[in-house]
Structure 1
Amino acid sequence: MLCRSVAVELEVAKELNKLLYSVESAYLNIVREVVEYAVTNNVTSATQLQGLFYSRYRLEYPGLHSHLIIQAIRQAVQIAKSFMERKKRGLASKPYPEVKAVSIRFDETAWNYKEFAKSVAPVRLSLPLLGERREVWLRLHKRFWQYWWRVLNGEARLASTLIIKRRMNKWYAIFIFKLKPREEEPKSVIAFDINENTVAVGRIDIETTVGKVVGWNRRYATPQLYEIRTDFGRLARRYEKIRNAIIERLKPHFALPSGNYVNVTNTREYRKRVRMLREGRRKDGRIKHVANELTKTPAIIVTEDLGEKPQESMIDGIEKNELRHCIKQTPFKALVRAVEDKALERGSKLFHVSAYRNSRICPVHFVRLRETNDWHILYCPLGHYVHRDYASVMNMAWKLTPESWTKCVWWGLRKRMDWREHEGKSNTTIPYTIVQYLHAMLKTFTASEQWPAMLARAKPMNHHRIQNEGGGEETSHTLLRQGGGQ
């Protein structure tokens, strides 16, 4: 199942705003106290902590709904477990985590989940706030209605947990939809290759390709090759300069008597300024744009199997620090995960193929390409130039075919497997005469400019077609009688 969260703003009056603030402060105090106790005493069992704190908080906050106390304790357990794992890795220096903000979680029994899920057009919520229930109206938007239409069609299901969160003095209700992966008939084959600043794409439309082959007797189909600009490398260079400028500006404030400086990157002032740069959000926006572009229509999507840490293998042998930093900052895995997730939602299928020498083989003649002065342009020994990125996406598409292992990596396999000693020898299990017959038959029936890639091509049987070929007004029966008389 795929999960999608949709935030909807609440219409909050002044009195309701005070109630939500009161519930949030009580919820936050519970989470902070339970987290501190769990980390100090090394207790990570939600059942054990609930037995210790539930009755106490029921007396301390009599107007708070009982299920909100249980949800606060469970949320504190999750925070404590995450902090303890980070502390084991040496990523946390404080004795316990500082919880600055929380999201209030209402389970199925705390809000009107059943009534909301049964409604055709839900427009309001019923929330228990400090001893009384309040009706809260929603400001619904297009994205919510898109997923709600899927719920009505049976393609999705609304999760029972409701999340209320405050952001910039506005309150939002976060709904979680669980979607079923779609099953659609693919309309195209798409191969994409991720680079530092671009994503190379090769697209073959299945329907139009078949029509062209039948109509124009083409033997090969030319794919659509284009690039999507991401500028991840340029973005990394820009933010690196900005971060270095921030460090130089803050250095005088963290000077030691010995003349050295404190590590500025570990200070609160540095983190506060870097957080305002929104580097992560810009990367996420570009990732979502590429994923949306590649999955507009149902397709068979092909990409390289990058492995666990693709950046480490890419920077191996690169001495320039700036280029190494740009490659490290390129989100290869995040982009592939986003495409895979969006493909399941829209009915596409993602396949991973081997990354073995995709950009070093000519996709037309299947021979090794030679280097030129330009890193992106390679030279084929048979007399033409090939763009490295487009060769990569075309060879990925070739690897989906049954004969891909002989075409794409034939020249590498001969070297690695010592096939030279077997050259010229025949297979004893298959008679040589049958091999000759198959070879002659395949050579004869190869598609050409005159003969399209079809099962058969019959001669014209209509007498009007014979007239166009010089047959005159005579029919086939007349011709047969004349031939028989002679």
Structure 2
Amino acid sequence: MLCRAVAVELEVTRELNKLLHSIESMYLSIVREVVEYAVENNVTSANKLQRLFYRKYRLEYSSLNSQLIIQAIRQAAQIAKSFVERRRKGLAQKPYPEVKAVSIRFTEMAWSYGKFINSTAPVRLSLSLLGERREVWLRPHKRFWLYWWRVLRGEAELASTLLIKRRLNKWYAIFIFKLKPREEEPKSVVTFDINENTVAVGRIDLLTTVNEVTNWNKQYLMPQLYTIRTDFGRLARRYEKVRNAIIERLKPRFALPNGKYINITNTREFRKHMKRLRERVRKVGRVRQIANELTKTPAIIITEELGEKPQESMINEIRRNETRHRIKQTPFKSIEKAVGDKALERGSKIFRASSYRNSRVCPIHFTRLERTDDWHVLKCPLGHLVDRDYASVTNMLWKITPKAWTKGVWWSLKGLSRNMNWRKYEGKSNLIIPKYIIQHLYAILKTLTASEEWPAMLARAKPMNHHQMQNEGGGEETSHTLSRQGGGQCTLFI
């Protein structure tokens, strides 16, 4: 089941606002006291804490609904358990967790869940507040109606727990929808490869490419290749310079008598400046854009097996601290997780293929590619240039072919043929593809021109330096061809 949370603003009068504020203060005081006790005595069991504190707070806050007291204790148990785990790993710097704000949890007995779920178009709810029920009107928006329509169609369920949260002196009701994964017939095959500043995509539209030729020979499917600009590396470098400038500006205020400085990053002033940078928000926005682009239609999505910590294996041979920092800041696993989550919601399926030399082998001749002056462009021994990102996504497309084809090109999906000796076939051409087909494809690719429609999404932040200084391919990536200064063209292959 997939979970989606939707926040809907409440229409609150002045009297109701004061009432919600008083409940929030009671709820927050319970959470803080229970968290302090749980951390000090190392008690993280919600049932034990409930037996210890329920009667006390039931007598102290007699007008507060009993379910709210129970939920406050359970929420405190979760916070304490998370803090104890972080302290065990050495990530906590304070003796107690600092609880600044909470979301009030209403169970189905504390709000009108049954009446709400049976309504065709719910626009109000009833909350149990200080001994009496109060009706509150909602201001639903289109996203709420989108998921509510799925509830009416039986494709989703509404969770019985309702969250009430205050944000900028406005009150919001947070509804949690549990979506059932869709089962749709795939309309395309999509492969993507994540890089520092780009995401290379290869797409085959099954509805438009299946014809009389492809019905009897699937190898003639022509993938569409394009690039999605993300600029995660450039974003990391920009914010690194901004952070260093902030540290240098704050240093005189935190100088020690011996001439040294305290750790500026642990100060409150530094954290205030970092909140305004919105680095994490920009990253999350770009990750969601990529997931939305790759799952527009139901598809079979293929990507590389990244492992648990892909950045660690990438920076083993890199000595420059700046490059290592940029790679560490690239959200490889976040993109993979977001794509997989969105794929389940829209009826797509995601599979992971072996990452064995995807970007080092020619996708046409299946021979080992050679280096050139450009890190991003490689050369096939048979005399043509190949972009390594597009070679990677195209080679992943080869890996979804039947098992007989897989043996012919010495590759395999993960777990499909574990005992196959890959190096036995290395350097050999693919005997399945006829020679005249290779010549025909090469002639077509030589005539391809750059398209102004790509990249599919432009990054919001402009690079601080020219892209040629970064050796990342810059902003000239297109769906088919890369133009180089003084070096002709770099042709992208299928």
Shorter-normalised TM range: 0.7 to 0.9
CA drift of 1:414 comes to 6.5
Match of 1:58 in 2: 58
1:406 and 2:411 are equivalent in the alignment? no
Match of 1:456 in 2: none
Give the match's secondary structure for 1:47.
Answer: helix
Match of 1:256 in 2: 256
Match of 2:238 in 1: 238
Partner letter of residue 311 of structure 1?
A: Q
Match of 1:358 in 2: 358
Match of 1:301 in 2: 301
| 312-321 or 397-406, which deviates more | 397-406
Match of 2:476 in 1: none
Taking a change above 3 Å as real, the CA distance of residues 414 and 383 of structure 1, as seen in their structure-2 partners, is: farther
Partner letter of residue 304 of structure 1?
A: E
1:77 and 2:97 are equivalent in the alignment? no
CA drift of 1:416 comes to 4.6
- Which string of whole-angstrom CA distances, capped at 9 and with x for unpartnered residues, describes residues 313-369 of structure 1? 111111222111111100000000000000000000000000010001111111111
Higher fraction of helix: 1
Q: Partners of 2:159 and 2:32 in 1: how far apart?
A: 27
Q: Partners of 2:388 and 2:212 in 1: how far apart?
A: 27
Give the match's secondary structure for 2:359.
Answer: helix
1:135 and 2:138 are equivalent in the alignment? no
Match of 2:273 in 1: 273
Q: Partners of 1:292 and 1:263 in 2: how far apart?
A: 40
Mapping for residues 55-454 of structure 1, pairs under 5 Å: 55-211=55-211, 213=213, 220-401=220-401, 402=403, 403-407=405-409, 409=411, 416=423
Q: Partners of 2:407 and 2:326 in 1: how far apart?
A: 33
Q: Partners of 1:131 and 1:70 in 2: how far apart?
A: 16
Match of 1:476 in 2: none
Q: Partners of 1:100 and 1:280 in 2: how far apart?
A: 21
Partner letter of residue 328 of structure 1?
A: K
Give the match's secondary structure for 1:370.
Answer: coil
Partner letter of residue 404 of structure 1?
A: T
Taking a change above 3 Å as real, the CA distance of residues 213 and 36 of structure 1, as seen in their structure-2 partners, is: same
Taking a change above 3 Å as real, the CA distance of residues 14 and 384 of structure 1, as seen in their structure-2 partners, is: same
CA drift of 1:375 comes to 1.0
Partner letter of residue 236 of structure 1?
A: A
Taking a change above 3 Å as real, the CA distance of residues 418 and 128 of structure 1, as seen in their structure-2 partners, is: closer
| 261-270 or 286-295, which deviates more | 261-270
Match of 1:473 in 2: none
Computed over aligned residues only, the root mean square deviation of the Cα atoms, in angstroms, reads: 2.5
- Calculate percent identity across the aligned residue pairs: 71
Q: Partners of 1:217 and 1:32 in 2: how far apart?
A: 67
Partner letter of residue 267 of structure 1?
A: T
Q: Partners of 2:118 and 2:102 in 1: how far apart?
A: 29
Q: Partners of 1:168 and 1:284 in 2: how far apart?
A: 22
Give the match's secondary structure for 2:210.
Answer: helix
Q: Partners of 1:415 and 1:181 in 2: how far apart?
A: 36
CA contact (8 A) 1:213 1:219 kept: no
Give the match's secondary structure for 1:101.
Answer: coil
Taking a change above 3 Å as real, the CA distance of residues 186 and 174 of structure 1, as seen in their structure-2 partners, is: same
CA contact (8 A) 1:361 1:391 kept: yes
Structure showing greater Rg: 1
Taking a change above 3 Å as real, the CA distance of residues 59 and 368 of structure 1, as seen in their structure-2 partners, is: same
Partner letter of residue 371 of structure 1?
A: R
CA contact (8 A) 2:193 2:389 kept: yes
CA contact (8 A) 1:395 1:408 kept: no
Taking a change above 3 Å as real, the CA distance of residues 397 and 218 of structure 1, as seen in their structure-2 partners, is: closer
Q: Partners of 2:305 and 2:421 in 1: how far apart?
A: 23
Give the match's secondary structure for 2:59.
Answer: helix
- Which string of whole-angstrom CA distances, capped at 9 and with x for unpartnered residues, describes residues 40-81 of structure 1? 111112222112211211221121101000000000000000
| 208-217 or 359-368, which deviates more | 208-217
Partner letter of residue 258 of structure 1?
A: N
Taking a change above 3 Å as real, the CA distance of residues 45 and 211 of structure 1, as seen in their structure-2 partners, is: same
CA drift of 1:217 comes to 9.7
Would you say how many aligned residue pairs link Structure 1 and Structure 2? 427
Q: Partners of 1:415 and 1:200 in 2: how far apart?
A: 25
Give the match's secondary structure for 1:134.
Answer: strand
Q: Partners of 2:109 and 2:254 in 1: how far apart?
A: 53
